[in-house]
Amino acid sequence: MPQLGPDAGAVVPSQGPRPTGGWRRRTFASLIESSNYRRFVIGQAISLVGTWMQTIGQSWLVLQLTGSATALGLVAAVQTLPILLLSPYAGVLVDRRSKRRVLLATQTAMALLALALGLLTLTHTVRLWLVMVIAGAMGLVNCVDNPARQSFVPEIVGHELVANAVSLNSSMVNAARAVGPALAGVLIVSVGVGACFLFNTVSFVAVIIALATMNPKLLHPAVKSVHAPGQLLEGFRYVRATPRLFTPLLMMALIGALSYEFQVVLPVLAEQTFHGNADAYGYFTAAMGIGAVIGGLAVASRRPKGMRSLAVAAGAFGLTMLAAAAAPTLANEVLTLAMVGAGSVGFMSRGNTMLQMTSDQSMRGRVMALWAVAFLGTTPIGGPIVGYVAQHAGPRWGLALGGLAALTATTLAAFAHLRQARHLLPPVSVLFASLLGRPARRRRPRRRRP
């Protein structure tokens, strides 16, 4: 196995040609230049709508079966705990295999699980324990699917277009978040909750077709990691020794635990603060989705500039959350939540891009698995904390806690940027000579007397 240093094989974001042309070409560069990515995006867009429909349908099904919010939380914990506990091991597996074949297997497995839940629901044989088993199995498959899917993007578009592709993917995810729940609501009322699971089953077919019909000659396959003992610890050591990986992961762990708990705060905010119902919650969710789509498209047209851009994105996210916590009226809240959506996707895209472009090819699966742990796996930890604050201090304080967490992460990125800049600064003599317009004299080393 080759010896890997902290920055072995790393691709610095400033390298590579920048997409040229008008705003439209810069924004959609990866879609224009990669036919494989167009297939991937179309398949993912359809599948993500189905995924959101299953998420809403599963929550509604659990409430129908039990009428208990506690049961709803238990199902969510069962589905996310595997990501927290097993994702690092899944990252090692992804680094050893063809990511395209791994995705074909995971997408097929999730389609079968969705089909099983749909048939159980339609035949009225579904029970809470069956829902928990299927949710846990979904979580296990997601452990492998998430790092494989994210680390496969550079293999589709190449390193130069990674930032653009990640931003467009974030916009697609949030567009699906706006469409999927609306379709789920229509199907639940008109047909029944089982239709959501069957639609999700069919939606996976789009991804499977997209993966199967890709042109292998246009891919940029990564170097596979050779099977060897100690690869899990090797991944941890690699991340810890690389500040451009360790800092974004630490930021996401903090923000993922306390800032991205909107599913906990927004329902309480709609009901208790603004005395609304499900409609107000729908306005909040839709506003965040629309803002995220706009923010994702704006980020896609720009090229990341390292730790500084990540610090700015996290700071903007934190400030918009504090503004949402202080919004006096429902209309103001909807407007500020749209800005929160834009800020959230800005930070997510910048962090994801930095990890993708910095990590070594043979380590990328393990790095993106840790990203999934920091983002999704922290929910069982941060969700109860934010929920307790929202319940006892008020939902505004729940939002404010998330804003303060994002600003704390901004401080971490700022220190990392200053530390990096300090190491890159030239000596004082060189700076002084450049101001005078004269070349700097080099000091001769002193000879030691024998």
Helix axes of 69-96 and 231-240: crossing angle, nearest 10 degrees: 100
96 plus 178 within the same structural domain: yes
Give the whole-angstrom CA distance, residue 118 versus residue 200. Answer: 9
Give me the CATH number covering residue 131: 1.20.1250.20
pLDDT at residue 446 greater than cutoff 80: no
111 plus 78 within the same structural domain: yes
Q: How confident is the model at residue 3 (pLDDT cuts 50, 70, 90)?
A: very low
For 414, residues 6+ apart whose C-beta sits below 8 A from its C-beta are 311
Residue with tokens 């789920």: 184
pLDDT at residue 315 greater than cutoff 90: yes
Q: How confident is the model at residue 321 (pLDDT cuts 50, 70, 90)?
A: very high
31 plus 71 within the same structural domain: yes
Between residues 181 and 125, the one the model is more confident about: 125
Between residues 105 and 34, the one the model is more confident about: 105
pLDDT at residue 227 greater than cutoff 80: no
pLDDT at residue number 431: 38
Is residue 354 situated within a structural domain?
yes
Q: How confident is the model at residue 47 (pLDDT cuts 50, 70, 90)?
A: very high
> For 242, phi and psi rounded to 5 degrees?
-120, 100
pLDDT at residue 448 greater than cutoff 70: no
Give the whole-angstrom CA distance, residue 86 versus residue 365. Answer: 13
293, amino acid identity? V
Beta-carbon neighbour count of residue 423 at 10 Å?
7
The count of structural domains within the chain is 2
314 plus 205 within the same structural domain: no
pLDDT at residue 21 greater than cutoff 80: no
Is residue 65 situated within a structural domain?
yes
pLDDT at residue number 73: 67
pLDDT at residue number 120: 96
pLDDT at residue number 277: 65
Among 5-19, 115-129, 266-280, name the one with the lowest average pLDDT.
5-19
pLDDT at residue 309 greater than cutoff 70: yes
Is residue 217 situated within a structural domain?
no
Among 2-6, 39-43, 93-97, 441-445, name the one with the lowest average pLDDT.
2-6
Nearest partner of 11 among 158, 170, 166, 148, judged by Cα: 158
Choose one of 178, 212, 246: the last residue of a domain.
212
pLDDT at residue number 402: 93
449, amino acid identity? R
Choose one of 152, 177, 212: the last residue of a domain.
212
Give the whole-angstrom CA distance, residue 120 versus residue 113. Answer: 11
Beta-carbon neighbour count of residue 138 at 10 Å?
22
237 plus 203 within the same structural domain: no
Choose one of 212, 247, 266: the last residue of a domain.
212
Among 88-92, 201-205, 211-215, name the one with the lowest average pLDDT.
88-92
Residues 326-331: what's their mean pLDDT? 92
203 plus 341 within the same structural domain: no
pLDDT at residue number 426: 46
Give the whole-angstrom CA distance, residue 37 versus residue 315. Answer: 31
Residues 389-396: what's their mean pLDDT? 85
Is residue 446 situated within a structural domain?
no
112 contacts 194 by C-beta, under 8 angstroms: no
Beta-carbon neighbour count of residue 322 at 10 Å?
18
298 plus 388 within the same structural domain: yes
Residue with tokens 């200053």: 418
- Which of 182-186, 226-230, 402-406, 409-413 is most confident? 402-406
Nearest partner of 322 among 385, 434, 380, 408, judged by Cα: 408
172 plus 253 within the same structural domain: no
Is residue 222 situated within a structural domain?
no
Across all residues in the chain, what is the average pLDDT?
Answer: 80
pLDDT at residue number 255: 92
Angstrom CA distances, 377 to 83, 279, 369, 413, stand at: 5, 29, 10, 22
For 164, residues 6+ apart whose C-beta sits below 8 A from its C-beta are 19, 26, 27, 28, 29, 30, 157, 300
Give the whole-angstrom CA distance, residue 264 versus residue 335. Answer: 20
143 plus 249 within the same structural domain: no
DSSP string, 118-180: HHHHHTT---HHHHHHHHHHHHHHHHHHHHHHHHHHHHHH-GGGHHHHHHHHHHHHHHHHHHH
173 plus 287 within the same structural domain: no
Structural domain for 26, as ranges: 21-212
Between residues 395 and 2, the one the model is more confident about: 395
pLDDT at residue number 134: 95
Please report, to the nearest 10 degrees, the dihedral formed by the alpha carbons of residues 414, 369, 292, 160 taken in order: 80
Is residue 219 situated within a structural domain?
no
101 plus 185 within the same structural domain: yes
Is residue 447 situated within a structural domain?
no
Is residue 366 situated within a structural domain?
yes
Q: How confident is the model at residue 204 (pLDDT cuts 50, 70, 90)?
A: very high
Q: Quick one: DSSP state of residue 447?
A: P
Give the whole-angstrom CA distance, residue 253 versus residue 275. Answer: 32
* The pair of three-digit structure tokens given for residue 13, joined into one six-digit string: 């974001």
Residues 47-63: what's their mean pLDDT? 85
Among 118-122, 275-279, 349-353, 444-448, name the one with the lowest average pLDDT.
444-448
DSSP string, 195-245: HHHHHHHHHHHHHHHHHHTS-GGG--PPPPPPP-TTHHHHHHHHHHT-HHH
244 plus 207 within the same structural domain: no
Q: How confident is the model at residue 43 (pLDDT cuts 50, 70, 90)?
A: very high
pLDDT at residue number 2: 35
